Structure 1
Amino acid sequence: MLFALILFLAATLRLWRLDSVPPGFTHDEAGHGHDAVAILHGARPIYERVGYGREPLYDYLVAGLMVLLGPTGHTLRFSPVPLGLVTLLATFVWARLAFDRPTALAATALQAASFWSLSTSRQALRSGLLPALFTTAVYFYWRSAYGPTRASASTSRHRPSRRQMGLFALLIGATLYTYIPARVLWLVFPAFLVYLALLHRETFRRVWLPALVAVLGGLLLATPLFAYLQAHPEAELRLAMLDAPLQALMAGDVSVILNRAWSGLAGFLIPGRGDDFLAYTIPGRPVFDPLTGALFLAGVGLCLARWREPAYAFALIWFLVGISPSLVTGSTASTTRSIAALPVVFLFPALAVVAGARWAARWGSQAAWAVGLGFVGLTAVTGAISARDYFVTWGESPDVRAAYQHTLVEIAGYLDARPEGDLVALSTVYPHAPHDPYVLEMSLRRRDLALRWFDGRQALLIPPSFPPTGDAPPS
């Protein structure tokens, strides 16, 4: 009942004003919409070469939604909402299995109330698919290895389920067709097997072979993607843009990657040091406020203290591997690049709160209830602050309107309202695909206009008739 309420409130917050916040589309979002429409028309990409290159699975998912809801910008904007809810569901079922129900409820509630989760669940980007797939993969791995009910991993004698390991393998393969960080994310499972081999040998002997086969099977599913990238190295420009710290490290300079790692870690706790990418967050906003940040640190400390228990060790491994992209690239776009760690990040405060409530129970049930009610209040305040920051501070910012090409959205509304169906010329700073033309494609409902794009700073417009009936808006 409590989980259903959390999911309902989360869905309400993620659907509210979805038609106006964000106030348009970024070029990356519009590119996903354009490629999804192309899939509807017969394209079958194994890798998208638009922009800096990207994996195609999210585009196929959006195309499937467009079959049901129509090939519109509204469908594109809606597409991340169910992914965010699936992430919450997967977080709950895994945390309940690996820890307990109170921890699962607390982790899911805080995640649902967070600005990070709210923002991600409204971004039409492939990154939002990754935590949904990976957390579900974690659940199937845990259930296969340790059974359908909570049990100590060190004593469980449950025989791994082939069906669930198969689903686990399928999901690992799917993550590799989703977003670049998945290329290191699968290492969570071999690292955990090493941990089991060192500390829980009986469990290791029982699970290592099916787990390893499943991971290798998932990697094998991605063979066509990697074969394509091997044959077309020029298609993947983004990696070349992000590997400077690694190149410096290989050259013997550790200072660059140490500075980036500190920047990425500081973004969790220190105001002004958070992700500064305006399109998807409030620049400098940390993941946690001081109080939830203290709970986060306490939860990490608890996991370190209980590292001999498999669930706690797994959470630490997941966190470190999940944030590793931001440890290389720094805080810029860290909430996107570290998105695979989102579910486990909010597990740590939940572990601290539940441990605190159990400690308080020594003084009677009323003390434990006081801790629980205090956390409910904290979560409610967190949700209210997240909503204010997202819908008001961020959503009404002129800079955000510019980043989401709101001018083009307004022009699309104007053109949809015009009765004429004729030639329309538009001047923008980015008149070439995959930029402003894709944004207008996702914003414009009608399809009977002949659109011509140009940059008025470098072109002379000669209309075919006078007076001209086209539009040349400022960009």
Structure 2
Amino acid sequence: MSALLGSARRHGFTLAYGLIVALAALLRLGGLTDVPHTLWVDEAWFGLKGREVVRGQDWLPLEPPGLGIGNSAYQIYAAALVQALGVPAAYSSRTASAATGVLVVAALYPTLLALWRGVLPEPGRQWGALAATAAMAMHFSGLLYSRGGGQMPASALAAVLVALGLYKTFASNRLRWAAFTGVVAGLGQNTYEAALGLPVWMAVYTGLRWLWPGALTRRRVLWLGGAAFLAAFLALAPFLVFFYFNPGIFLAHVGETQTVGRAGGAWASLLQAGQGLARVWLGVSFIGDELPGRNLVGRPFFDPFSSLLLWAGVARALWRARTPAFQLMLAWIGVMAIPSALSNEPPAFSRMLPMAPALCGFAGLTVAAAWEWTAARGRAAQLVTAGALAAGLALGGAASSHAYFVGWAGQPRLFDAIYFGARLTAEAALAQAAQGDVLVTTRSEPFVRYPFELLLGGSAVETFDATPDCLPYADGRARPTTYGVIQVIDPASLPALQAAYPQAQITSSVMHPDGYAYSVFLQVPAGARAPAPARRLDVEFAGGLRLTGYDSPAEARPGETVTVRLYWAAPGPLQARLTGFVHLGRGRQSDPLLAQHDGPLCPGFTPDRWSAGFRYLETRRLTLPAEAAPGEYDLRVGVYDPTTGTRLAVTSASVPAEDDRAILTPFQVR
């Protein structure tokens, strides 16, 4: 009968564990493409790099990303894997993050069971591990970062697996567990910079086991620890070679997101680190990460009920600090608090995430202790205690879920904090594409560029960089042309387009929570003509590029700036990047050459984006020298290939041309 009851209990724990993992999956994967309704630059970057791996373009697409973008090989390969399984590239990184977050929860239960075997009595061990796993499944920051498309959950998964391997290494006295630990810790360095604490944690725990070796000899402890570090080195070796030749890639994000040690000397750095550690530990239960993108501002890392449980568990572990399992857990939270302490504006909850499974484990220790205490006080006491603990964890989990899906995801500050505007603008552009041609600016702004490449790549929507010096104007196109302008980045294009097309209509806008239009879509009717030049002409260059007109003053005084506006057209994409020039001089040799302007031909439009039915209006400015002699000069325009310096031949011209330069007009210097 007892065997039957034991089997039923084991099956019950297994079922409960499965339900908790299913809950974690539901919270992390449910409505994933819409909450949060953004495509943050990190997430988009990982999706793009994952796509390069899937397409075989680059097997290790790491590069100095700038902008504080994480550079995680793990996240790139994880995004590539889910893309290979059929997930759209735009949502591949957040799917990978969510799946990793589920794995953290799934791995925590067996890890805690292994750590507490022989330390906690049955069935308190199982109840404690289940409670810890449930707390992790519903943990607010675990939920937030699992749905954010970043690499942070991977560092938490690495921490859980290192905990399992590190404990089993010394408990079983097996080299294979040392190898497992080292491989996980080594590869974990490619997840997130918080994982830099993993080797330190390994060293600290090895030192503790050397001080209290138990059944092992101290020599054996060092042998096992050394084997783990050797395995870590070998696992990381291919990446170490890469990072040796590209150190900036590894250090870029670390340097951008930590301030300790930059200035003030050793004592100032120690003081700053100490203050950071204090804020990290206060952040566990009392203060919150103040950045709205990283937290619901002011919310601590754990809710009050879970905090009460975990601090009681920490006290219990300290009371039994010579127990190897508790030494491991205390070293876990002690060492892994350091990356957050060294960050800008601690507590940085993203870097505290590897601590979260251990902190949940301490909460589980308190649950196990409560079960032990009630076991001697009868069934009624057990039921009351179990009900109170379950209710507290459930209410805390419900509060965390509400805080994320309603409080955090609905706060207006997220529009700027994680850049909602890029995705909303891209979605509006795709909706407009059904009605006609759509062009969206601006393309090179990194917070827009990566989301645009992922969401709009391969679609009918064109993206480009509009500048005051170059703008494409629709000219007699058969379909309406809609311009999407992000006004906070490009304030000049919308007024210019409205002046050129008085009949154009604003069809939609993406509104900022503060009440102004973040981006505006202006539709130009079919057949509308581009602005006409003051002086018409027709000069055709080799390859089909045409100069159809220009605006220019006929005279200027020495020291003044002459503004020349050129009207370009092309039958289709250009064959290469071209450089245009304007020379202001005298005669065939432009001697003397008073001024010139050389620069890329409409640099915001790459050669493949030139299209028939547009006039590309660019502005070039030439400043006359103060000592310019009065007299008659001329303006000459041409184009050349910047890689060879060879001018494009003028194949036909309605104005005089010499040496592949079109002569525009006589010009007087007064």
TM-score, normalisation: structure 1: 0.88
Matched with 1:260 is 276
Superimposed CA distance per residue, residues 41-68 of structure 1 (whole angstroms, 9 cap, x where no aligned partner): 3212274321246232210111111111
Q: Structure 2 vs 1, CA of residues 118 and 240 (structure 1 numbering), >3 Å: closer, same or farther?
A: closer
Structure 2 match to 1:432: 444
Identity of aligned residues (%): 23
Deviations 1:433-456 (A, max 9, x none): 64211112333475343321347x
Q: Distance in 2 between matches of 1:357 and 1:386?
A: 25
Contact 1:260–1:330 under 8 Å retained in 2: no
Task: From 85, 93, 101, give the equivalent of 1:84.
Answer: 101
SS of 2:260 mapped into structure 1: helix
1:441 to 449, 453, 472: 453
Distance (whole Å) between structure 2 residues aligned to residue 397 and residue 168 of structure 1: 41
Q: Which stretch of structure 1 is more off in the superposition, 340-349 or 255-264?
A: 255-264
Letter in 2 for 1:59: I
2:226 corresponds, among 196, 212, 221, to 212
From 45, 49, 61, the equivalent of 2:60 is: 45
Residue type of the alignment partner of 1:198: L
Counterpart selection for 2:465 from 453, 463, 466 = 453
Alignment partner, residue 246 of structure 1: 261
**Partner residue in 2 for 1:402:** 416
State the Cα deviation string for residues 274-327 of structure 1 (Å, max 9, x = none): 112211321221012333222221111111101011101110000111111122
> Is 2:214 aligned against 1:198?
no
User: By how many angstroms is 1:96 displaced?
Assistant: 0.7
Matched with 1:17 is 31
Q: Does 1:188 align with 2:201?
A: yes
Task: Give the aligned partner of residue 154 of structure 1.
Answer: none
* Deviation larger for 76-85 or 443-452: 443-452
Does 1:57 find its partner at 2:74? yes
Q: Distance in 2 between matches of 1:434 and 1:421?
A: 27
Partner of 1:155: none
TM-score, normalised with respect to structure 2: 0.64
- Whole-angstrom CA distance in 1 between matches of 2:371 and 2:344: 35
Question: Deviations for 1:393-441, whole angstroms, at most 9, x for unmatched residues?
Answer: 11111221333433332332233332367451324xxx42642111123
- Specify the alignment match of 1:419 in structure 2: 434
Alignment of 1:343-382 (within 5 A): 343-382=357-396
* Mapping for residues 13-162 of structure 1, pairs under 5 Å: 13-41=27-55, 42-45=57-60, 47-51=62-66, 52=68, 54-99=71-116, 100-146=125-171, 158-160=172-174, 162=176
For 2:441, the aligned partner's letter is: L
Q: What runs of 5+ residues in structure 1 fail to find an aligned partner?
A: 147-157
Contact 1:36/1:63, CA 8 A, preserved across alignment: yes
Which has the larger Rg? 2
Which has a greater percent of helix? 1
The answer on 1:178 being equivalent to 2:191 is yes
SS at match of 1:50: coil
Q: Which residues in structure 2 correspond to 1:315-330 (within 5 Å)? A: 315-329=329-343
Shift of 1:70: 4.0
Aligned to 2:572: none
Q: Map residues 223-234 of structure 1 onto 2, 5 A cutoff.
A: 223-234=237-248
Contact 1:113 1:383 in 2 (8 A): yes
Please give the alpha-carbon distance, in whole angstroms, between the structure 2 residues aligned to 1:77 and 1:319.
Answer: 27
Q: 1:249 & 1:364 partners in 2: Cα distance?
A: 61
Structure 1 residues 73 and 191, CA gap change in structure 2 (3 angstroms):
same
Match of 2:315 among 298, 301, 310: 301
Q: Aligned partner of 2:187: which letter? A: A
**Greater RCO, CA 8 A, separation 6+:** 1
Larger strand share, 1 or 2: 2
CA drift at 1:19? 2.1
Distance 1:444 1:378 in 2: 46
* Structure 2: unaligned runs, 5 residues or longer: 1-14, 117-124, 488-517, 519-670
